[in-house]
Structure 1
């Protein structure tokens, strides 16, 4: 059993995987946001590009999107999910943690989503820059073979991503 990367405590195959296969299965902005985070963990550049709103022209930024996807994502926390002024707009506030160059970073954002053509799309977000990066403890820079896998699968690292 592989738990979903989005932190929902559900199995990936029942949570974000169906949305990765068909983005129109996300019935709420939070579901799409969670699936976009999971796509970062799964290195699914196409899903992330294809779930940007068409007005964003994400294809032109594919390389930068691919670089962000290849970061070492460690966790997601959804703070709030709220409706917009119309039924076709929604907002999700979240924090996502990643490790890079011996530091732990937290991306905090209030994301805006629009529903068009029977599908939710990510449009843009307001980033909270007030969360400063923290140095990682030396012992956590390297995962040992018998440690729990950082991907959240519940397996030992050597039996999962190691």
Structure 2
């Protein structure tokens, strides 16, 4: 069993994978946010493009979206969710981390989602770029004996790969 890449601690095949096959299965903005992050890990550019709101014209930006998707994303932390001014709007605040050339970067955003045609779509977001990149050190990548195993098995590190 592989744990989902979105950090939900659920199996991937019952968490984000079904949404990757049918985006309408995301019943809340947070589910779509998590599935979009998992799509970055699994390099599913088509899903990311398809879940942008039509007003974003994401197909025209597919190359730059693919560049982002193909970055080395490592983890997602959902900080909060909020309802919008209507039932068709929702917000998700999150931090997504990526590694590049020995540095860890944090993308911190409050994303806006709209529900149209029986599906949630990502529209836009407000970035918080106050977190500077930090060097990746052995200490920051060290896995504790009782931490979840990074292989995604769902077991503790000491009982799996440790």
Change (3 A) 1:45 1:103: same
Would you say 1:132 and 2:132 are equivalent positions?
yes
Establish whether residue 51 from structure 1 lines up as the match of residue 51 from structure 2: yes
The whole-number CA distance in structure 1 between the counterparts of 2:110 and 2:3 is: 25
- For 1:80-91, what aligned pairs fall within 5 Å after superposition? 80-91=80-91
- Structure 1 residue 137: Cα displacement: 1.1
Q: Distance in 2 between matches of 1:68 and 1:81?
A: 23
TM-score normalised to structure 1 length: 0.88
Task: Render the CA deviation track for 1:18-76: whole Å, top value 9, x for unaligned.
Answer: 00000000000000000000000000000000000000000011000101111111100
The answer on whether the counterparts of 1:74 and 1:150 sit within 8 Å (CA) in structure 2 is no
Shift of 1:152: 3.6
Aligned twin of 1:159: none
Mapping of 1:1-162 within 5 angstroms?
1-137=1-137, 150=150, 152-154=152-154
> Hey, what's the Cα distance between the residues in 2 that align with 1:61 and 1:153?
35
Gap change, CA 1:83 and 1:127, over 3 Å in 2: same
TM-score where L is the length of structure 2: 0.88
In structure 2, distance between residues paired with 1:151 and 1:116: 37
Instruction: Give every structure 1 segment of 4 or more consecutive aligned residues whose post-TM-superposition deviation is greater than 6 Å.
Output: none
Residues 129/23 of structure 1: CA separation in 2 closer, same or farther (3 Å cut): same
Counterpart of 1:95 in 2: which secondary structure?
strand
